Amino acid sequence: MERARGGPPIPSPSGKLRAIPLGGLGEFGMNMMAFDYDGHLVIVDCGVMFPDAELLGVDIVIPDISYLRQNQDRLKAILLTHGHEDHIGALPYVLDEVDAPVYGSPFTLALARAKLADHGMADVADLREMQPGQPFEVGPFRVEFIHLTHSIIDSGALALTTPVGTIIHTGDFKFDPTPMDQHVSDLHRLAEFGRAGVLALFSDSTNVDRPGMTPSERAVRERFEEIMAEAKGRVLISCFATSLHRMQLVVNLAQEYRRRLCFVGRAMFQNSEIAQQMGRLEIPPGLLVPPQDLRKLPRKEVAVMLTGSQGEPMAALSRVAVNNHKWVTVEPGDDLVISARIIPGNEKSIFRMIDHLYRRGARVHYQDGSQPPVHVSGHGSVEELKLMLNLIRPQYFVPVHGEYRQLYQHTVTASELGAVSKEGFLLESGDVLEFDAQGARRAGRVPVGRICIDVGTLDEVGDVILKERRVISEDGIVIPILAINEHTGQLETQPQIVSRGFVPLDEAKELVESAREVILKTIEKSNLEEVADWGVIKEKIRTALRKHFDQETGKRPMILPVILEV
């Protein structure tokens, strides 16, 4: 096989290739993998993770990129496998601190460009298109994009050929034999790399605990048709805004069942516009209707696609569920389809939203195990993961993209299959895996972690702030207000106490009076210098009240004394 097509690498006994996961192992989200060879560093994916309930007030979580900042001069490229948020969402934050060209498929770059534009960075980012079968050089890395099917278009694996050997990073994938766009996975190219020899395979582990093969995207059509045919009112369908195959299916069915179609939600509308402009979403003229015109149409002649399948509080579907959307309502006789998997951690918010929809009289269809399905996964099940292993037959194997139990199970599956000629490595974020002519081994760790972002301010949310929010959410907040004469150091009036989330103070008069006594005694026992130093007296009051409330109620509210100088 020709070298240009990914043939055997040139041996380099003295060279070392290091693989360093900076996020995404042992968790879902924050996918970021560094590959380092001979002073050249490339990154595969740059994703976010959405916070769980413990991260109060946090909007997104990104990887700690201290390692990238420390090695900025060696960073040569960011390579994107596809356009999902857990693979591209951190780009604006990373490119704000380090500089590197970003490579991706056309649709992936279109989504990345829109995301960067929201941060005012579209004109300064260096975005470079890559296509299957068109390898290119990044320093000592020869990079080739290999098309694979997934729940978003233009997805693929990356083959990184170095003097030490070839790495295959699958990204997210499944082997859909009948994709909506008829663009099947390039199994032949994977097999060619496998025959030429692959040093290591880094493979998606998401569905390793699911037997068999993941159904084709076309499997949802039958259920969607049934719903469209039986619906007496509006049909509302919520899915991920990147699911263009699902969008195209709904477009086709809306036309077939004589329903006008409306996209609701910023991401849904924006992605459909991008896809139409690229010729990747075909919508007949006259089919689309703007949200403000929905009320003019009979409900049985309307289909709506909207965001919010995960119960996000401010997303379109959540607002519709509580009858708080400007244009869209749900009434008895309407059908609501949640065509997305329930991401672990989102169960409560999703089922609470479904309850609201039932209260409004809707007939709700969601992923409940019934057949035919309203949703199919974009990740390969265990037989597809085995097929990937058999096609590549690497020397070394590293499972990625999954929680620790899934990574572990994938390693066991690979071992039992016998497709890995040397060894499997179960890594965690921060581990360094080193390859050279003598083999592969663990070689220490680099700093990794999570950076919490409050999107409203674009600020990092530190551990201290999270701890404070957690205290307030559990035990509330108490604000003692004191008016102190700046000349005499004496209280001008009795201390006032304001509380939120602690106890109802109008029902706990004895507690309020005892708290006032604690404040008065604290001031009485303090000398004039302490009272005049507001920082000191605030801390003394805070300490005394914290001890008092703990003894009287068993709670430890956050206490924020306020001193008014009069």
- The CATH number assigned to the domain holding 494 equals 3.10.20.580
Query: Does residue 203 share a domain with residue 224?
Result: no
- Looking up residue 345, the CATH number of its domain turns out to be 3.40.50.10710
Specify if 460 maps to a domain.
Answer: no
Q: Would you call 173 helix, strand, or coil by DSSP? A: coil
Cis peptide before 290 (omega within 30 of 0): no
Same domain, 403 and 540: no
Residues 401 and 483 in one domain: no
The domain boundary residue, chosen from 302, 331, 365:
365
- Distances in whole angstroms, Cα of residue 198 to Cα of each of 10, 136, 160, 409, 420: 13, 18, 10, 22, 10
Tens of pLDDT along the chain (566 residues) come to 233 334 443 333 358 999 999 999 988 889 999 999 988 999 999 999 876 554 444 567 889 999 999 999 999 999 999 999 999 999 999 999 999 999 999 999 999 999 999 888 988 899 999 999 999 999 999 999 999 999 999 999 999 999 999 999 999 999 999 999 999 999 999 999 999 999 999 999 999 999 999 999 999 999 999 999 999 999 999 999 999 999 999 999 999 999 999 999 999 999 999 999 999 999 999 999 999 999 999 999 999 999 999 888 778 999 899 898 999 999 999 999 999 988 777 788 899 899 999 999 999 999 877 789 999 999 999 999 999 999 999 999 999 999 999 999 999 999 999 999 999 999 999 999 999 999 999 999 999 988 877 554 444 444 444 444 455 556 778 888 888 776 677 787 888 888 777 777 666 778 888 888 998 888 888 877 677 767 778 888 888 888 888 888 888 788 888 888 76
Q: CA 397 → CA 158, 168, 209, 382, distances in Å?
A: 15, 10, 18, 16
Residue where the block lists tokens 């289909």 = 303
Question: Helix (H, G, I), strand (E, B), or coil: what is residue 240?
Answer: coil
Nearest alpha-carbon partner for 417 in 456, 447, 386: 386
Secondary structure of residue 489 in the 3-state scheme = coil
Q: How far, in whole angstroms, is CA 489 from its chain's centroid?
A: 54
Instruction: Note whether 405 and 341 are same-domain residues.
Output: no
Inter-residue contact 20 to 36 (CB < 8 Å): yes
Domain total of the chain: 3
**Domain end position, chosen among 308, 333, 365:** 365
Assess whether 141 and 229 both reside in one domain. Answer: no
Q: Are residues 429 and 406 in the same domain?
A: yes
Q: Return the bridge partners of 53, or none.
A: none
Amino acid identity of 534? W
The answer to whether residues 424 and 550 belong to one domain is no
Question: Are 44 and 158 in the same domain?
Answer: yes
The HSE-up count of residue 295 (CA atoms within 13 Å, CB side) is: 6
State whether 386 and 321 are in the same domain.
no
The answer as to whether 419 is a domain residue is yes
The parent domain of residue 317 ranges over: 217-365
